[in-house]
Amino acid sequence: MKQYDVVIIGGGINGCGLLRDLALNGVAALLIDKGDFSSQTSQSSSKMLHGGIRYLENFDFGLIKEALEEKNLWLKLTPHLCYEREFYLPLYTYSKYTTWMLQAGLFIYDFLSHFQNKPHAMLNAEETIKTVPSIDPKGLKGAGKYFDGIVDDAKLTLECLYDALLEPGIEALSYHEVTSTHKVEDGYEVSFQSTLKLHKETVKAKYVVFTTGPFTDQLLPKLGIPWHPQLVLSKGIHLWLKEGSIKAKGSVVLTTKDNRVVFVIPQRGAILVGTTETPVDQDIFNIKATHNEVKYLLNVLQQYFPNANLTEASIISTFAGVRPLAKEEGHSHSLGKVSRHHKIYRPTSHSYVMIGGKYTTFRKMTQELAQEIVPRLGRRYKPNLTLNPLRQHSLIPTFGPKPELTLDLVKKIIETEKVTTFEDLIQRRLSLLENPQHLKSVMGIPAEDVKRLFNH
């Protein structure tokens, strides 16, 4: 029976971030995920590294400050995966904010970044229309401009994984489902099976860590871990629109009449729109956007960009995810108001559970847990190791010039980037926006030729 110091269950950003931190500190660890790494919540964000400007309403200054510090760190560490860009927040006669309130909020945002953000600015109505030609001019007073980061969320997760796998004693399995955890005197025996092949295995670990996001409340009782429901689940959907559907020289932040925030972010030769915040009432694994949710976002866009002629034909694809928000006593009924702080639990002497948090702050979250585990394994924890750049980059960058894709390069990606299925390749290694089932070609290569590589 193989033995590890730690088995991590859940291969999203927290699981991969924790694996990297433990690996850099000399811990032998195994990461297990039921699907592809980063295929659930961690690939379903608004593709931003940001402080969360809307959390200013909640006076959550500590979280915003930490998130802005982390955003600016990753902009330096991974310029191939993220970049800073301007965001415009239109102000109307019917907006709940006054001009001075918006300007004060943007100043506080810059202040909390230690003025590492590019400085904010205020635009009048004429300047706003020049910058966002599609914007509704009726009642427009102007806009606030501030800066945040754009990121390929799936690839940042994956490159944390690749970095971890460069260290000895580190392994990762996708498409494997944990079937049982059995408590033994000095740890756990963890059993799992492949979801694609006839393969079962049991390993031993001194510690088991659950970074299973929205699946935590369902999974832990099944595995015999003492647990009471601790999550508030919030579903968010996004649309990818065709480039040029909305004319804007930067990203736009819309505050809806029902007090939600919707981002409109030109990137990757398309426009990303989202997100929603609705209670979850369906199976959350591989969750999809519903027609009504898509219609809701289109209605918001048609209100703010009435001359853009947006229809369902403007949509390239949609995606959805579930936010695992940590429940708090007397929490707000508004999902947008629920805290984005994380929590760490220790249900047994040899198990840990991490829930909640923001994508942008994953390094600080996992660091808190790593510095708890590493000394228990008899090692000295070194907190600065995760400040080093990631050492293995994706072969196809998301932003900037891309190499010509050939079948030989596809083979190399499959061999070196933990690719199991055609969908893994399309959505998370190549970062293509189209639905994989509808693809006739993959960056110039017939899709059938690429699919044949997965049949051998």
- Check which CATH number belongs to the domain holding 177 and give it: 3.50.50.60
The answer to whether residues 272 and 128 belong to one domain is yes
pLDDT of 435 above 90: no
The answer to whether residues 282 and 209 belong to one domain is no
| Arithmetic mean of pLDDT, 263-281 | 91
Q: Which domain holds residue 169?
A: 3-42+154-230+336-387
pLDDT of 151 above 70: yes
Residue 456 confidence (pLDDT): 65
* Distance from C-alpha of 101 to C-alpha of 107, rounded to nearest angstrom: 10
* Distance from C-alpha of 22 to C-alpha of 30, rounded to nearest angstrom: 10
| Arithmetic mean of pLDDT, 66-90 | 95
Boundary-marking domain end, from 285, 306, 329: 329
Q: Say if 279 falls within a structural domain.
A: yes
Domains of the chain: total = 3
The answer to whether residues 140 and 248 belong to one domain is yes
The token pair that represents 85 in the structure block: 């860009």
With a pLDDT cut of 90, the percent of the chain lying above it is: 84
The answer to whether residues 283 and 311 belong to one domain is yes
The answer to whether residues 262 and 221 belong to one domain is no
Boundary-marking domain end, from 329, 347, 367: 329
Query: Comparing 88-92, 322-326, 413-417, 435-439, which segment has the lowest mean pLDDT?
Result: 435-439
Q: Say if 116 falls within a structural domain.
A: yes
pLDDT of 271 above 90: yes
The answer to whether residues 135 and 183 belong to one domain is no
The answer to whether residues 143 and 241 belong to one domain is yes
The answer to whether residues 262 and 125 belong to one domain is yes
The token pair that represents 99 in the structure block: 């001009």
> Which residue shows structure tokens 């703010």?
304
* Distance from C-alpha of 416 to C-alpha of 364, rounded to nearest angstrom: 28
Q: Say if 94 falls within a structural domain.
A: yes
Q: Say if 84 falls within a structural domain.
A: yes
Boundary-marking domain end, from 280, 306, 329: 329
pLDDT of 333 above 70: no
CATH of residue 102's domain is 3.30.9.10
CB 416 within 8 A of CB 163: no
Residue 275 confidence (pLDDT): 87
| Arithmetic mean of pLDDT, 132-161 | 96
* pLDDT, tens digit, 9 for 90 and up, residues 306-328: 989 899 999 999 999 999 988 87
The answer to whether residues 206 and 272 belong to one domain is no
Q: How confident is the model at residue 423 (pLDDT cuts 50, 70, 90)?
A: very high
Query: Comparing 10-14, 48-52, 333-337, which segment has the lowest mean pLDDT?
Result: 333-337
The answer to whether residues 417 and 361 belong to one domain is no
Global pTM exceeds 0.85: yes
| Arithmetic mean of pLDDT, 53-78 | 91
User: What's the mean per-residue pLDDT of the chain?
Assistant: 93
Closest CA to 433 of 298, 317, 279, 277: 317
* Distance from C-alpha of 24 to C-alpha of 373, rounded to nearest angstrom: 13
pLDDT of 331 above 90: no
* Distance from C-alpha of 26 to C-alpha of 379, rounded to nearest angstrom: 8
| Arithmetic mean of pLDDT, 19-30 | 98
Compute CA distances 392 → 17, 112, 135, whole Å: 14, 32, 41
Residue 280 confidence (pLDDT): 86
The answer to whether residues 341 and 325 belong to one domain is no
The answer to whether residues 132 and 241 belong to one domain is yes
* Distance from C-alpha of 113 to C-alpha of 400, rounded to nearest angstrom: 27
Residue 455 confidence (pLDDT): 81
Q: Say if 192 falls within a structural domain.
A: yes
Q: Say if 54 falls within a structural domain.
A: no
Compute CA distances 98 → 128, 336, 455, whole Å: 16, 21, 60
